[in-house]
A and B are shown apart, each in its own frame.
Chain A
Amino acid sequence: EPEVTQTPSHQVTQMGQEVILRCVPISNHLYFYWYRQILGQKVEFLVSFYNNEISEKSEIFDDQFSVERPDGSNFTLKIRSTKLEDSAMYFCASSDYGSSGANVLTFGAGSRLTVL
């Protein structure tokens, strides 16, 4: 069964450093997403990406964050100048029918980011 893969599974970084989280979505999916979950809190939407551009973003997704699809298969989330409060599990997801109420996402296993 096709799956979404994420790397790294866990990254530890110093405050102020840049981090890139990588994702390989399912190959025939057209919509890509990043969510995050701070420990004990809700899974929060960060950004969606369609047709090589951001289609929607949340208030969390400020200038510190950026996304890119550099080569047609990878989908990356860059966090510039990380802060302690960026420590969370980051989930990548993709879907093939993002403009429907029955929009079902396929998630990766997540990348745990720890900022020290």
Chain B
Amino acid sequence: GNSVTQMEGPVTLSEEAFLTINCTYTATGYPSLFWYVQYPGEGLQLLLKATKADDKGSNKGFEATYRKETTSFHLEKGSVQVSDSAVYFCALTSDGGSYIPTFGRGTSLIVHP
């Protein structure tokens, strides 16, 4: 079946620090990969996605590269801001079954001024 494993949080950083949140996956079929973000009091929203191997998704300074050889989709940002404080969810859909997204447990990011 499909599963997503994310690093445990919380991740606590100072403003302008480099961010990496690890995500690895297992999938039946060929997956599409996603990062969603949940800001306090809001629903999950799409941050970025990649639908085939070696694609890089990017948005708002965040990037993630679809690595088939390591089954990974790590989220990175070169310089975080306080406003990036949120919970980040890695997810996948797969053509090996339904296209219903499978999510990880989420990683909380706290950025201090």
Contacts and interface: CB of A to CB of B under 8 A. Distances in A.
A68 B30 CA distance: 32
A70 to B, nearest CB: 22
Contact of A41 (B32, B44, B101, B105): B105
Given A40-B105, A102-B32, A56 B98 contact: yes
Contacts of B49: 102, 104
Nearest to A56: B98
Interface in B39-80: 41-46, 49, 51
Interface string A73-116: 00000000000000000010100001111111111111000000
A107 B100 contact: no
B99 A99 contact: yes
B99 A98 contact: yes
A33 B100 contact: yes
Nearest to A58: B100
Given A45-B100, A45-B102, A98-B99, A103 B43 contact: no
B contact residues, range: 20 to 34
A96 B38 CA distance: 20
Contacts of B51: 101-102
A107 to B, nearest CB: 4
B43 to A, nearest CB: 4
Given A41-B105, A103-B99, A103-B100, A109 B32 contact: no
B71 to A, nearest CB: 16
Contact of B95 (A91, A93, A98, A101): A101
Nearest to A100: B99
21 contacts: A3-B43, A43-B89, A43-B105, A44-B103, A45-B102, A55-B98, A56-B100, A99-B99, A101-B30, A101-B51, A101-B93, A101-B94, A102-B51, A102-B93, A104-B34, A105-B46, A105-B101, A106-B45, A107-B36, A107-B38, A109-B42
Interface of A: 3-4, 6, 33, 35, 37, 40-45, 48, 55-56, 91, 93, 98-110
Interface of B: 4, 30-32, 34, 36, 38, 41-46, 49, 51, 89, 93-95, 98-106
